Each structure stands twice: as C-alpha cells, then as structure tokens.
Structure 1
Amino acid sequence: MDFDLSEEQRLLKESVERLMLDSYSFNERRKYQAEGRGFGEAMWERYAELGLLALPFPEEHGGFGGSAIETMIVMEAFGKALILEPYFSTVVLAGGILRHGASPTQKANLIPAIAEGRMKLAFAYAEPQSRYDLFDVETRAKQDGDRWMLNGTKGLVLHGAVADKIIVSARAAGASRDKEGIGLFLVDGNAQGLVRRSYLTQDGLRAAEITLDNVQVEAADVIGDPTGALPVIARVADEAAAALCAEAVGCFAEMQATTLDYLKTRKQFGTTIGSFQVLQHRAVDMFVELEQSRSMTLYATMMAGENDAAERARAISAAKAQIGQSARTIGRQSIQLHGGVGMTMEYRIGHYFKHVTMIDTLFGDVDHHLRRLASLGGLIRELE
C-alpha cells in the first residue's frame, strides 16, 4: 500500500492547516463560541470558499469527488484547531446519508446548497433508550396518503438547532429493535410540530433534543427505501467514526506538542521540569499513543470505503477502540503534567481533553467497539 499523500492532498493539507493557523487561535475560538449560533459564521463562509464543504461530494453535483483520505486530512486539521462549526454534522454525517442514500434529484437539490455554504444539515439518529444501537428506533413514521407523519424524540442531534434541514431516522414497520423497517426522512428545520431544544455539550459544541409531533414529510423527502435504511445508516456511522478518529488524532497531536512545550518552559527546583527523567518517560508514552492512534486511523480511513460491511466494521472498531484508549492516556498525562493550570477554563489543554472524551462516546466508546470487534472474530481472522 502507498501511504504517501498525493500532490493535491498535500496542497489540501497545507491550505487547511494555514487557515487554522491564521484564523483559529484559542482566543479567536472563544470569540466564535460567543457568537449567537455558537460558531464562526465567517469561518463557515471561508470553508465554502476553499471548497471544504464540497470536498466529499460527487463532481456532477458540485462537489470535488474527494475520498475518505481528504476527509481525514481536513478533520485532523480541524481537531488541532478545535473548531466549533457544524462541518462534521453537515458534511460528514448528513452529507454521508445523501451520498449513499439520496436519489439523484435529492442530491441535485441539496448538495450544491451545502457546498456553497447556504445550507446546514443535521442527522437525528440517537434516542434516549438506544445508546449505541443504531437499529433501536422508537420514533415512528406512519404513511398518510402521499405523506408521512413522524412522531418521537431524538437526542444529541449535533448542531440540530442551527440546521436548515434535519435527516431523521424513523421506524415505518416492525418493533423498536428490529433491524428492518427503518427509514430516513428529510425534515425542514422549521416544520410544524418539530420542537428543538438547544444545549451546550461538555466540550463547548452545540447539540439539540428534537421532538416530533405529527410532523409531515412529503414523499419526495423520503431518502431511499422507507423500511430498509439501516445499511446506509451503518455505513455512514462507520465513515463518521473514521472521521472522528482523524479529528482525535489532531487533538492528540496538539495536546502532545503543547505538553512538551510546557515541560520545556515550566521551572521547578531551579530547572525545567522537562529535565526530570520520569516526566520524559511520560511524554514518550504520550508520543507512542499518538503514533498508534495515527496508524490505526489511517487504516480505518483506507477501509472506510470497503463494501464488505464486516471487514469495514473490524477496521473501524479497532481504530475507535484505540482512539478511546489513547484519549484517556494522553488526556490524563497532559492534564497531570500541566498541573493545576490544566484544569482551568482559561487554558486550552482541558478543552482538548473534553473534546476527545466526547469523541470517545460518539458512535460507540471503547467497550462497545471491543465487543463489536470480538463478535466479528477480532481484527485479524484465522485462515481457514
């Protein structure tokens, strides 16, 4: 396998990292967070100008036809900067649903608006009782002539309060934990009967709880088969998990570099604390975890487009488990090596730790993915 980036990918990496360096310092991030919608509207426009919002979409619908590798590059840079904008929810999550499940007409109507920065989307899949089971859906979709009526509650809808449209998973048939009978429905953010309650997550992002009370959806806004959407949801969840791994690697790299700089400048007992061998060993442990996470993320990224669901799941679960374990190790070490300042809101290291903790829980934590990996026979199957 060739693990080197192409010339175009290197240019993408350089341009995104330069944008983050120039426009996303920790103080600038605070200003964006204080804006009314909780992120930088001007930055969203910059993403559109650079083509980042169009990156993974097919060229025939105004995109650039990028692969999971390009998404990895962008997400890692965004992780280093700890961005607040709804890129993951709009482009990776909802955009993934459109790429894999939408009709040509739906793609033509929605993707250009996303690429130009005129439309933000969210994906409402989680429910209070579902935990990490994507098939555990109690929200109901009942057909009423040419329309569908949605009723139910969705939780932890990332950037759900600012989304112009929300893709909702709902059950059109079967019991609440059946793997068949689930559909995807495109709902207008201001639809009658839809109530959004916005709140801050622990890492400073925005999410919403959404209640649907007889929300009407036209037949043209049903994405794919109204009773067979689970394979699409599962595939998008795997791709999203790979993107989250890349974002976490960006966070880890910044946490490791920031901690190393602190060890080189903080003085105690008349010398820099980085001269103490025991602290050097802990810094090395952080570096090892970072490199392990980077390697597993690259593997998961290269397997994200695998059509064999079981093989794809093995790679994604192995990487997500590694990321979760590294988040705990690197986060714990970085906070402890910074001492009391690491726990303050005024210093950025604690914000990174909070964010990687959130990444660990999105689409399955360490325990969940270790169980899934075990149920699939492990990462490397025995030769038959």
Structure 2
Amino acid sequence: MDFTLSETQEVFKSTANKFFKEKCTITALKEAEKSAKNYSPALYKEIADLGFVGLIIPEEYGGAGGTFMDLAIVVEEAGYANLPTPFLSTIAYGAIPLLQSGTEEQKQKLLPRIAEGEFIFTGAFSEPQSHYDYRLIKSTLSDKGSTYSLNGKKLFVPFAESADYLLTLAKSSNGDVRLLLVKGGQPDILITSIPAIGPERVYEVNYRDVPLTSEDVLGNGGDGWSQTNRVIQMATALECIEMVGVLRRAVEVTNEYVKERRQFNRPIGSYQSVQHRLSDMLTVVEGGRLAAYQAMWRLAEGLPADRELAIAKAWLSKEGQNVLTGAHQLHGGMGIDIDYPLQFCFRRFKRFQLSMGTAPIHLKKIASSLERKAVATKV
C-alpha cells in the first residue's frame, strides 16, 4: 500500500486545490446556501467540464477513466473548500452504483450524461425507523404485472429537489430488497425540506404509488443487499475523505490565526499550550487521512474493508469533534462569524458526523470484528 502521489495525481491535486479555492470563496458559499437549488448549476457544470464528475467513469462511457484513488484526492480538496454542489452525491449514488451493478443499457444511457454534468443523483436510504440499519426499511415495491409501484418515506436526502434520479432502497413483495433508479420530479413524489445545521439542505421524500418499470431497477435485480452494501461502503469512504479535507481546512485556518492574533505583546501561537493543542488537532487529521485512504484503497482493490471503514468513520467523527472544538476555542468569538470559513467547516462536519453511521455505531462494528477475531484465534 503506497500512498505516494503519481505525477498525474499531483496534477489532479493542484488543479482541484486551485480551482476550488477560486470558486468557493466565502461570498460564493453564502450565495449557494441561500439560493433556491442550494448550489450553483454553473459551478457544477465547470466541475464536470474539468473532468472531475466523470473521473472514474471509463472513457467508453464519456469519462476520464481514472481510479478511485484519483477521485479520493479530488474529494479531499472539495472537502477543504466546502464545495457546495452535488458532486459527491452524484458520484456516490450515481456513477459508482451504475459501474458496479448497472446493466449495459443503463450504463450507456446514464453514465455519459453524468460525466457531462447533465444528470444529478442522490441517495434515499434512511427512514424514520432505520437511520443506519437498512434491514428495517418499510418502503415497498409492489409488483403490478408489467410495472411496479413504490411507496414509502425517506429522510435526510440531500439535493432531493434538484436530483434527476434518486437511488432508493425498497423491499419487494417477497421480502427481497431492490435498489431503484427513481426519476426525480414525478408528481407522486412529495419532497419536504428538513431543518438542518449543515449548509446543504436535506429533505424528506415521500413516495406515493410512484410507477416504475424493470428499467428502473438497478442492474438485473440480483442481490439487493450486496449491491446496497457496496454502495454504502463507497459512500462512507468518500465522506470520510471529504471530512479529512474539512478538518484540514479548520486546522490550517486556526494555525494562520494564532500566528497573527497577539496577546501580552506576542502571538498566541508562541505559547506552548496553544502549540500543543494545534499538534493534537493535526495528529487527529493525519491519522484520519491514513485511515480513510486505507479504507478507500482496500475497496478499490476489491478487499474486505468493513473494519477499516468503521475505524476511519469512528475516528473522524469522534476525534474530529475535538479538532473543531479546539479551532473555535483558539479563535474565540471570531470563529462563529458568518463571514469566516470556520463556521462553514463546523456545520459541514456536523452533517458528516451524523451521516453514514455515528461514532458509536462504528465503534460497535469494530468491537464485533475484534470478538470474531478472538473466537477464530481460539478455534
């Protein structure tokens, strides 16, 4: 496992860093948060034109043919800039599921338009009784002969109002689960905004006898749980990497601030207690980066990554809170100013902290993996 960046990856990193910094100014972030769509369609098209949206899509489908590690580098820079677009959502719930499980017809139809920035995807999985354990879902897919009917309620769906497709999990009449490519904007889909702390709005989505056909079922039906698990794993890994970018920004902003803020005729960064606090914060970020990239690498190589993902998400969610707390304490009241980047970092982090399973959920997974290992060793 070598995380040294190739020459091409260095170009990806520098290009993404420069582009996102130029486009994601504080003014741009504030305008995106207040806008009707919650993001700038023009900016999203620019990202697609750079090849970032289609980075992992093979050239035969109009993409750049890059690797998952190439994507991880760009996603970290997007997190650093607090990028307010459905970039990650479309890749995690559109490009990746289609590449992993889609039929050739679905790939030919959807992947080129994803790469061009024409289609936006989002994921609709959580329900009131099943935020993280999707075995408890109650959304149903009823067989109507040549068609299907979808009913159910989904929570915390980002970009639901703008999405061309909502990747949705539902149970069929025989108890099997299916991943569905539900077209957005249908009259039988009721979308309601949910108040949230994050800069991106999330929505409640109600499906009321939404008509579907076999073409709307991801792949050939297959093993829905296996498909869902692969989607969730990759989405979790990408969110962890974006969290690394957010936390890295918080540390760098704080480091610059303590060099300039003076107290008792000297920069507060010259005090040992401040230096120790920043050192702890940086250690958390670097540890989280290694954990997140290891999980992504294992997924890209087709290796088991359950424990690695749990470690990355638990560490970043739990210890990342201490990074943001330390950043705000070292800034004092200035940290919460609406015209300062730290409040964007904090609010975006809180969204990721609660998404894809909280720290206690993943700590339990780690404990379970240790128990299984102990039993196997005894045997």
Q: TM-score range by the shorter chain?
A: over 0.9
- Which residue is 1:266 aligned to? 261
1:205-354 aligned within 5 A: 205-226=200-221, 228-308=223-303, 311-354=304-347
> How much is the aligned-residue C-alpha RMSD, in angstroms?
1.9
1:62-141 aligned within 5 A: 62-141=62-141
TM, length-normalised to structure 1: 0.93
- Letter in structure 1 aligned against 2:180: F
| 2:4 is equivalent to residue 4 of structure 1 | yes
Specify whether residues 306 and 200 from structure 1 end up closer, same or farther in structure 2 by C-alpha distance, changes over 3 A only.
Answer: farther
2: CA distance, partners of 1:66 / 1:136: 36
Correspondence for 1:377 among 353, 370, 375: 370
2: CA distance, partners of 1:379 / 1:11: 42
| Superposed displacement of residue 370, structure 1 | 0.9
SS in 1 for 2:300: coil
1: CA distance, partners of 2:370 / 2:81: 37
Specify whether residues 276 and 379 from structure 1 end up closer, same or farther in structure 2 by C-alpha distance, changes over 3 A only.
Answer: farther
- Letter in structure 2 aligned against 1:132: Y
2: CA distance, partners of 1:101 / 1:25: 37
SS in 1 for 2:370: coil
| Superposed displacement of residue 375, structure 1 | 1.4
Per-residue deviation, residues 271-305 of structure 1 (Å, max 9, x unmatched):
22112211111111111111111111121111123
- Which residue is 1:21 aligned to? 21
TM, length-normalised to structure 2: 0.94
| Superposed displacement of residue 225, structure 1 | 4.6
Tell me if the contact between 2:154 and 2:205 (Cα under 8 Å) persists in the aligned partners: yes
Q: Which is further off, 223-232 or 52-61?
A: 223-232
- Letter in structure 2 aligned against 1:205: E
Tell me if the contact between 1:327 and 1:357 (Cα under 8 Å) persists in the aligned partners: no
SS in 1 for 2:91: helix
| 2:340 is equivalent to residue 355 of structure 1 | no
- Which residue is 2:44 aligned to? 44
- How many pairs align? 377
| Superposed displacement of residue 227, structure 1 | 6.7
Tell me if the contact between 1:314 and 1:378 (Cα under 8 Å) persists in the aligned partners: no
2: CA distance, partners of 1:339 / 1:92: 36
- Which residue is 1:194 aligned to? 189
Tell me if the contact between 2:159 and 2:202 (Cα under 8 Å) persists in the aligned partners: yes
- Letter in structure 2 aligned against 1:355: R
Identical pairs, percent: 29
- Which residue is 1:152 aligned to? 152
Tell me if the contact between 2:57 and 2:63 (Cα under 8 Å) persists in the aligned partners: yes
Unpaired runs of at least 5, structure 2? none
Tell me if the contact between 1:151 and 1:213 (Cα under 8 Å) persists in the aligned partners: yes
SS in 2 for 1:237: helix
- Letter in structure 1 aligned against 2:192: R
Unpaired runs of at least 5, structure 1? 175-179
Tell me if the contact between 1:17 and 1:77 (Cα under 8 Å) persists in the aligned partners: yes
2: CA distance, partners of 1:29 / 1:105: 38
| Superposed displacement of residue 343, structure 1 | 2.5
2: CA distance, partners of 1:198 / 1:284: 40
| Superposed displacement of residue 95, structure 1 | 2.2
Q: Which is further off, 295-304 or 138-147?
A: 295-304
| Superposed displacement of residue 19, structure 1 | 0.4
Tell me if the contact between 1:182 and 1:227 (Cα under 8 Å) persists in the aligned partners: no
| Superposed displacement of residue 62, structure 1 | 1.5
Specify whether residues 379 and 259 from structure 1 end up closer, same or farther in structure 2 by C-alpha distance, changes over 3 A only.
Answer: farther
| Superposed displacement of residue 325, structure 1 | 2.0
SS in 2 for 1:69: helix
| Superposed displacement of residue 190, structure 1 | 1.9
Tell me if the contact between 1:318 and 1:379 (Cα under 8 Å) persists in the aligned partners: no
| Superposed displacement of residue 34, structure 1 | 2.9
Per-residue deviation, residues 237-296 of structure 1 (Å, max 9, x unmatched):
111111111111111111111111111111222222112211111111111111111111
1: CA distance, partners of 2:247 / 2:214: 44
Specify whether residues 60 and 380 from structure 1 end up closer, same or farther in structure 2 by C-alpha distance, changes over 3 A only.
Answer: farther
2: CA distance, partners of 1:254 / 1:121: 27
SS in 1 for 2:192: strand
Per-residue deviation, residues 116-163 of structure 1 (Å, max 9, x unmatched):
111111111111110211222100000101110011111111111110
SS in 2 for 1:377: helix
| Superposed displacement of residue 40, structure 1 | 1.4
- Letter in structure 1 aligned against 2:6: S
- Letter in structure 1 aligned against 2:118: R
